[in-house]
Structure formats: structure tokens, C-alpha cells
Amino acid sequence: MKTYNYLLGKLRLRQNPPLAPNDEKAASHQLLISLSLLAALNVQGAAPIITKIYDAPGQVFGGLAGDGSNLYFSTLAKNVTGALSWVVSIDANGGERWKWNNGMSESAGNMRMTPTISPDGTRLFVGADRGKVYCLNTGMTGDNNYPVGMIWEYPPMGTSLSQPVRSEIAYDPTLPAIYFQCNDGNVYSLNATTGALRWPPFNTGNLNGPPPSFPDHPVPWSSAPVLDLNGTVYVGSANGYLYCLDAANGSQKWRVKLNASGLTGTVGEPVEATPTIGENGWVYCATRLVMNLGGETAVSHAYGIDPNRVTANPDNATEKIIWSSTPLGVLEPGTLGGLVTDICGTVFVGDFHGDNIFGLDGRTGEIVSNTGFGGKICQAPGLSSNGMLYVGTSSPGGGSGGGSVNGAKVSPSGTFVADWTESQWRAGPGAPGDFGSFFGGVLVRADGSGTVYIADAQFVNDTGAVYKFTSGSPSMAGDWPTLGCGNRRQHKLRTYPYTLLELGAYPFGDAALAVVNSVDSLGRVVGYSHGQACGLAVNFYVAYWTSATPMIIGNCSTLSPYPVALAANLAGQVVGETFNGPIVWPSGFAGGSPQNLPLPPGLTGGEARDINASSNIIGSPTAAAILRLSSGRPMAHRGPRRKKKRGRKGVGPKH
């Protein structure tokens, strides 16, 4: 019976803390090599064809939620007497499934935030300016007037909260429960099945929401709660604090004042952008820029916060702030759109008037990239697993037109440039046409096509539209939050199913003879495969897989039988071994030629076993044990090298 190698799709990366720099536990014959490798070139790309798939009944200020088959979003009421705000469901090609309104006409009934979908796709949750949260039945059809199509509302019929609900809604699938922040200053938790209040509202000091900024941002929204894998609730407030709440009873575990500006009053820098949680469990948030906050200036900063740090003062747990960034902007309103993190641990933060997105090192807060996009950044970007970031821009001050859709290569490179910019949709009814302004977040599907959806607000026409284009790659596993999921618990449960895929051979080869040695967090598998690569004789050749079909590492002109690829880093640098010892392909996934690595005196052979993000390589003579990596993430101890079984007949590369 054949034994096959399988790729487990959409692997989750768990990031461990780095080893201490002075930890010198190592085998006596450890081989450690640090290389200065050429950075990959950033190449301008062609914009994809962006298709308009749906003309909305009003401006779309929030983003889109998706359940794998259908899309959900809300629109503002048009500026005419008796106009209604709608929640809309369309299929993936723009076919309208249903619309629903809450019965309140004009701006009083506006539902402006991104809805949240339940894991089974049957319930949709959305907040409204009239101080309501609605749970809708996604199986409805046609046009529906309140209360038709509604499962429950909070508060119950005939009552409402005193202020608008302008935060998105986090969903915990394990209870199930939902969480939202209201402009009345409180965070609420409801039973997702019944709509019943789970615990008394908790006062976060978010009364009236963040301060408006005229003329560009007259109607702020509130930061949404986020949940970690354990269900702990984190929420940023207009009073400049990040709160950590116990999900079971709503009590405060701790809070921390965000005050790199050195404000002397009781409040910190207001938080409007929804925080993000990294794979390391840290919470990342960014603040508004307010020129006159009680007579002082609050400057926009980003923060990295470790919830596990011990604090002496739970009412201002400053010990938990690992870093605060340098100022992110010089003009109001600062950071508005939610933060996202990629699988490499980079945190992406937008600045409205800077027209740019910063990439911050999640460990240190160092700004590693800063790219302008030629328009205002109001929304959370989306990330796909091929390392592309997608974001829409808006025009300032409610002007007409001016929006664009942008794609930038950001991962795994530490720096990025905008690969393409498109200011028009070029397919669909009435094409071409200019975009409006983009406020809601970008939705990247988790299927193989990686279809990207984005919606705009057309101020002049008082309408909006939904657009799509194909990225060719699913949403990135480290990208969070995924709009429509609302939190990391929901994100992991719903968006990334596990699949098994047989890894194939080169032409005329035997898949049973392939060997897999490692897989990176972008799903790229390295090893070697059997067959006829580059038209050469049937033999064993280095290979990597992103699908069932193997691809060569390096290029055909330097390809030879029997080198073995053992590991790769996110920059596409591959290490391994050959007859002459350790070897590296500085740009192995991009066609670069291999290089033999120098050996310490007295050694004549060995292997390069792993390479980290800083291009530090670790390896050993054939029998040496490996205990540590000089920098970056620690790796498992492999022990002495054992002879591998080479397929059914024991054949394969021998060293």
C-alpha cells in the first residue's frame, strides 16, 4: 500500500516567545551561519478587473459580512422624506436575496455598521442609530418591513437605548453570546439565541462615542469589542482606556490608559478603531488624534499590550503596555479603521490624513513600512494568504468621487509598496465608472478564489454599490478581524476548515517517493519529489508545493538531482543539504540559484536545517543535535539525523 504525503490546508501558526539572546545552550558541533541575503524586488503589478455586482439602495458606510455563499451589508437612508435604511443580502454574483428595514424612516433608522453572521449562517446581527440591536433570519426572501424577518430585538419592542449603537458586534460561538459597545457609554452582552441581557451593562466611559472631527469625520463610530481564544473581552473607549472584561459576568479584570501623548487629565487618547489580537495573544490598538481634548492635544499612537503581564494596579495596568509607537499623524482625526495583523506578526494601522498605512513590528512597535495610497484611510484593510493587502480610500470632507481600490504586497516582506491602484470599476452594468468613498472594511473570501468584496458610498448620487475582484488566494490565516466574524474565536472556527491534499510528483514520477520536511505559515511545503523536473532524467529533485503539483526550488539551469530542501522562511529563502554539505537558495521560490554554505574549520559535511526571518541559518554535522536558534522563533529539537525510508523500495537521495 502506498504511503502518501499530505498537506494540511490552512495551518494555524502558534507563535512562541523568542529565546533569550544570551541563551547559549548548543551542541558542541553546532553550525550557525548568518547571511546577508538580497531582499526581493517589489514589482509593479497590473490591477485586476473590478466588477460592479450590485447597486445598493443607499450609501454603504459599513463593510460586508459573508457566510461562504452570500453577502450581507447595511445602507443609510437616502436624504429624502420617508426614505429607509436597509439591511441587504445578495449572492456572490450580486443577485438580491432579500432586504429588511427597521421601520424607522430617514436618519433615525440608520444602520451603518457591518453586520455579524452566526456560524451556521442562519442569524444576522446588526446595530442601529435608534439604540437597537436586531437579530434577523437570513432565510427570509423579498422586501421585509419590521418586524417581519426579525427573530428578536434588544431592548424589547417599544423601548430603546438612549444612544446609537455604532460599534460592530462580536460573536462568541461557544456560549453563544454577542457583545457590542453603545454610545451611552456601556458594553452589553446578550444571549445570541434569545436576545436576553447576560449581565448588567458595563460602563466603559464611552458616553457619546469618540469626538467628531469636522468636516472630515462628523459622525464617529465606537470601537467594537474583540474576543481572544479564551473568550476574554477587550474593548477600547472614547475615554482613552483599553478595558479587559470577564465574559462570564462583565466585571473588569483590568484597564490601561493609552497616554503616550502625556495628557495630564483623567482621560487618555480616544479609541475609535477596533483593536486586533495577534497570534501571540497580544492586543494591538491605535488611537485618535484630537487637537483640543480638554485643552490638550491627544496624538495618535499604536500600542502593543501583553494581557499576561502582571500588574500592580488593575485600574491602570501600565505594565501591560509593551510598546507605544512614534506618533502616527499630525492632523485630525488620526486612526479610524480597525487594525489587522498578518501571519508574520506585522500590525497594519491606517492614518486618515496621512493617506497611508503603517506596518509595525508586532514585537517592538517599530515602523517597518509606511506607504501612501493617495486617499483617506477609513477602513480596515483585508489580507490574502499570498501576502497581498487590499484597501479602499475615500475623499476628504464628503467630497464627490476620489475613492480608489488598492493592492499592496506586504507579506512576508518587511516593507511594501502599492502594487496597483484602480479608480474605476471596469466591468458590470454601465461600466466603466468612478468609485465613491470606501468606509467599511474589505472582505476576502476564504475559498480558493480569494474573491475580494468591497462597497462604497456615492455622496453625489446618495447611493452605493458592491464590487468584486479575484485575488487568486484565500484570506490570510493570521489576518484578523475578518469582518462578519467579529472575533478570533469565531474567525478560527468558521473561516478555516481543514482539508487534506495529496502532494504529487514531477512528470513520470512516483508520489509515494516524495518527502516533506517542513511547511511554513503561508502553507508552502518544502522537501523533494520524484520524477522528471525541467525535462531532466527521472530522479529526485528539490521541490515545494502550494497545491498538489510540485514546483522546483531554484531554476532549471542549476537544478541537479539529490539536493534536499529542509526548511524555508517567509521571505522565500530555502535551506537544505547536498553531497557537499549545507546549501541555501537565497530566493528559492523566485528562481534564484543555490549557494554552498561555508563550514567551520575541521568540518567537511553537514546540513542547514532551518532559517529564520532574519536569515540566520542553523544546522549541524550529520549526527549533531540542535538545541536553539540565535534569533527569531525557537524550533523543535530534531536530535541525531536518522536515515529516512525512501518510498517502498528504500530508494532516494543518499548522502
Tens of pLDDT, residue by residue over 36-78, are 222 223 344 688 999 999 999 999 999 898 887 899 999 999 9
Total domain count, the chain: 2
Q: Is residue 641 part of a domain?
A: no
- The string of pLDDT tens digits covering residues 212-260 is 999 999 999 999 999 988 889 999 999 999 999 999 999 999 999 999 9
Residue 529 and residue 414 share a domain: no
Per-residue pLDDT, 378 = 92
Per-residue pLDDT, 641 = 38
**Residue 616 confidence class, pLDDT cut points 50, 70, 90:** confident
The domain boundary, picked from 478, 495, 512, lies at 495
Residue 252 and residue 104 share a domain: yes
More confident residue, 444 or 531: 531
Lowest-confidence range among 103-117, 170-184, 412-426? 412-426
Per-residue pLDDT, 7 = 28
Picking from 386, 566, 407, the residue whose alpha carbon sits closest to that of residue 474 is 386
Per-residue pLDDT, 632 = 34
Residue 533 and residue 389 share a domain: no
d(CA 349, CA 380): 8
Q: Is residue 333 part of a domain?
A: yes
Question: How confident is the prediction for the chain on average, in pLDDT?
Answer: 83
Residue 603 and residue 515 share a domain: yes
Q: Is residue 87 part of a domain?
A: yes
| Residue 206 CA: distances (Å) to CA of 154, 164, 314 | 19, 12, 19
Per-residue pLDDT, 440 = 86
The domain boundary, picked from 495, 514, 529, lies at 495
Residue 139 and residue 30 share a domain: no
Per-residue pLDDT, 202 = 98
Share of the chain above pLDDT 70, in %: 81
Residue 248 and residue 224 share a domain: yes
Which set of grid coordinates corresponds to residue 432? 466603466
Q: Is residue 650 part of a domain?
A: no
More confident residue, 640 or 38: 640
CA angle 500/502/504 to nearest 5° reads 155
- Residue 164: pLDDT over 90: yes
Query: Per-residue b/e over 582-619, b at no fewer than 16 CB within 10 Å?
Result: bbbbbbbbeebebeebebeeeeeebbbbbbbbebbbbb
Residue 520 and residue 489 share a domain: no
**Residue 564 confidence class, pLDDT cut points 50, 70, 90:** very high
Per-residue pLDDT, 174 = 85
Residue 230 and residue 354 share a domain: yes
Q: Is residue 646 part of a domain?
A: no
Report, as an integer, the average pLDDT of 91-113: 96
- Residue 579: pLDDT over 90: no
Residues of the domain holding 216: 51-495
Share of the chain above pLDDT 90, in %: 61
- The string of pLDDT tens digits covering residues 359-375 is 999 999 999 888 888 89
Q: Is residue 294 part of a domain?
A: yes
| Centroid of chain to Cα 147 | 35
The domain boundary, picked from 458, 477, 495, lies at 495
Per-residue pLDDT, 73 = 95
CATH number, residue 256: 2.130.10.10
- Residue 193: pLDDT over 80: yes
Q: Is residue 532 part of a domain?
A: yes
Using only C-alpha atoms, the chain has a radius of gyration, in whole angstroms, of 26
- The string of pLDDT tens digits covering residues 104-163 is 999 999 999 999 988 888 999 999 999 999 999 999 999 999 999 999 999 999 999 999
Using DSSP's 3-state secondary structure scheme, residue 490 falls into helix
Q: Is residue 632 part of a domain?
A: no
Residue 418 and residue 370 share a domain: yes
User: DSSP string spanning 304-352?
Assistant: EE-TTS--S-TTS-GGGEEEEPSP--SSTTB--SPPEE-TTSEEEEEET
Residue 568 and residue 486 share a domain: no
Lowest-confidence range among 101-115, 328-342, 570-584, 636-650? 636-650
Residue 544 and residue 446 share a domain: no
Per-residue pLDDT, 598 = 85
Per-residue pLDDT, 371 = 83
- The string of pLDDT tens digits covering residues 452-487 is 999 999 998 999 999 999 987 777 764 444 443 444
- Residue 602: pLDDT over 80: no
- Residue 5: pLDDT over 80: no
Per-residue pLDDT, 477 = 60
Residue 538 and residue 482 share a domain: no
